[in-house]
Structure 1
C-alpha cells in the first residue's frame, strides 16, 4: 500500500471490500482453473499488483521482477500498480469478474473477505516450508478468526515508539529517564503529572482504541470469529481507569475529538507529555520547538502484555491463478529477507523476516534523528503483534469510539458503554 499514509486508515478498505465482494465470487478455490499445489515447475506468466507504490519505487520493483525472471527462466511477471484511493473497490470488482491478479498486495483486513470467498491461497497448506523465515507475529497477522490457515505472506511492517517530554516528567518529580512502560505505570504517572501541574499538563491526548485494549491484555474476539469480547472485566477496568484520567485532566479535554494533527500540536506546545511520532516530527521539533527537542525522550509503546502493536502489509496468492508454483515462488521472492532489507533501506518500514532486524541498520545509532526513531521502533517490533482484529471494520471503530466517549463523559458506565459497543459491533459483523 501507499507507504506515506497512516496505516490505521487501511482498515477502512477491508470494511468496504467485505460489503462489495458479492457472493458470486465465493467458491472452493478450485473451479475456473487454478490449483493449490505449489510444488510444480516455476514457469509461465503471472500478474503482480501493488498498492500505490509505482510513483516512488518504480526502479526497485522493476529490479525485483528482473531478478525473479533471471532466477526462473521461462517466467514472466507483469507488474500492475493501482492508486491508493479506491483500492478495495478495484479488488472487489476484479474478484467478481474473475480478473483478480495472480499475486496481490493486501493488508490483513483486505485479505479476510477474499479468504472467506475462497480466493486467497492457504499458505499453511501450499507454502508452509516458508513460515520459519518470518517473525511469528507477522506470519499470524494474515490468519482469519474462524478459519484455519494463513492467507498471505507477511511483507513490510510498521510501528512507532512514543515521544515523551523529559522536562515535564522531571518538573512533576518523576524520573525523566524512566518513562512508563505498562498501563499501570502510565496511569500513576499521568495522575501525578496532572496533580503537580494543577491540570495544565495532560499525559495523553487520545482516547483508548482497540489497540489499547489489546495491549492492556483484553481478549478482543472469540476464536470462532463470531463475536467481540472486549467488554469483559479487564476491558471495563481499562475504560474505568481512562475515565479517572479524564476527570483528573490527565487525559486532554479535547481527546474526544482529537486528530493526529491536533494531538501533535498539543505535544509541540508542551501541553501533553506523551505522543506517538516519527523522525519527521523530530525534525519539526528541532526547528519549531527547540526546548521540546532538547528534552525529547523516546520509549516503546505502552503495553501490559510485553508486546507492542504493529501494522503489516502482505502479499496474497489468488487461488484462481493458472500458475500456482510461479505465483507462490514470486510472492515468497518479493517478501524474502534480501528483498525486504533492500526495500526497508529505501523507505521507513521494517522487514517481517527473522534476523533482519538484527542488522546494524536497525541497531546502531549514528547521531541522526531518523536513526534514533528507527532503532527504537525496530527493537520493539521483533515481538510485536497486530492487535486489531482483521474483522474489526471502520464502522466498528466508530462504534467503539462513540461508546468510549459516552463513558468518559459520564453518560454511561464503562460497563454499559462497552456492552453497547460489543452489541453494535457484533451486529455489524453479522451483516458483513
Structure 2
C-alpha cells in the first residue's frame, strides 16, 4: 500500500501537469514534498517503534497517510495546500520502515534475516507493480483524482482490519504471559541484563536504562557507511520511481499506459531477483561465510548493476526506445540485492537498536527524495537532457556508494554502550 501511493503520483503527475499547467520544476516540487514529511518522521518513528512496538506504530502511520492521500484531489488546485497534504502523507509513511525493522530484529534470527527482510520489503516492489498496472486505466476512465480517493479509503479499511486481526491479540497475550523467548534469541545477554518492564499500553519491553546512545551511533564508521549508502541507494530509487514514467512518456514517446507498464519491469524483476538473492545470502551465512562479506557482495551488485545499464544508455543515445527501456528496467531489477545487503545490516550490528538505526540512516536516505526528485525537474527544465538530469547523478552516487560501503561497512555486532 505504501508504494502504491507513491507510484500513483508518479503516474498521475503526467495528466495533473497537463491539466494544471505545471512545469517540470513544479512537478518535481510536488513529488518531493512527500519526502519532507518522510524525512522528519524517520528517527521519531524508530523511537516510537522501540517504545510502543512496531505493530502500533505501523497502524497509526497507515491511518495518517490514508486520510492525507484521500485529501490530495481537494488540495491540488492550490500548490501550498497540495504540498502540505503530501507532507502529511510522508509523515505517515515515514514511521513504517522503522516499525517493520523493529518487528524483524526482535523476532527473526540472523540466519533467516535476509529472507525475512526480502519478504517484507518486497512488498514495496509488489506495491509498485500493482500501482503501475492499475493506475493508468483508472486514471483514463475516471480521472486522476480517483486513484487518490480509492487508495486512501483502502488504507483506512486496512487499518481497521489490521487492528481487529488476531495478530494484535496474539502479540499482547504473549507479553502478558511474559514470553521473552524471541527476544532472547536475538538480544545478547548484555542487552537483556537488568529487569524488563512492560509498557502500560502493551508496548515493547524497556530496560531500566533506556537512554539512547546517540553519540555512540555517530562514532561508528559502520553507521556512517550505512548512512551514506542509504543516501546513495535512495537517490537512484526515488528519482527513478518519480521520473521513469515521465521519461518513457516524453523521451521515448510511449503512451501513459505503455509508459506505466514498462515501468513495472524493475519492481517485477526485483521480486524475481530477491527470490534468489536473499536465500543465497542466508545460505552463505549459514555455511560460515563472513556476514560482512555477504552484505558487501549483495550491496555491490545492487549498485553496480543499474550503473552499468544507465551508463550504456547514456553513452549510446541511438538505441531504439524499446531497447533503451529494456536495458534500464532489467538493470534496475538487480537493485533488490540491497535487501540482502544494507537492509539487513541494521539488525546485524544491533537487534536492540535496529529500528532507531534504520530511522537514522533512512533520514539520510529520504533527503534524495526532497532534493533529488526536485533537482531532477530543475535540471530537466534547464538542460533538456535526461542524461544530465536523471542518469548522471544516479551513476555518481551508485559508484561512490559502492566504494564507501566496501571500505567501511561491517556487520559485526556492536553494543553501542557509551
Above 0.5 in TM-score?
no
TM-score, normalised by the number of residues in structure 1? 0.25
Structure with greater strand share of residues: 1
Q: Which has the larger radius of gyration?
A: 1
| Highest RCO, 1 vs 2 (Cα 8 Å, sep ≥ 6) | 2
